[in-house]
Amino acid sequence: MTLVINGEIKEFDNSFSLQDIITNLQIENKVMAAAVNMNIVKKDDWNNFIPKNDDKIELLQFVGGG
């Protein structure tokens, strides 16, 4: 399965949940919000949301600053 994650093409052997993808990328402690094809996916739904081939995923983190 091919996904575009934060503008980078990533290949996965199987279908994974959004949470599995975040864990696989080792960024689970950084991601605060996720959008798939410009639609927000609530954090409570990450375990059940299965992206489709060629989906565009944006994984967002909040950075403090002034």
pLDDT, the chain, mean: 92
> Containing H/E element for 19?
helix 18-24
pLDDT tier at 15, thresholds 50, 70, 90: confident
pLDDT in the model for residue 66 = 61
Top CATH class of 2-60 equals alpha beta
CB-based burial of residue 7 (10 Å sphere; 0-12 exposed, 13-18 middle, 19+ buried)? exposed
pLDDT tier at 38, thresholds 50, 70, 90: very high
Q: Which of 7, 19, 25 is nearest to 49 (CA)?
A: 19
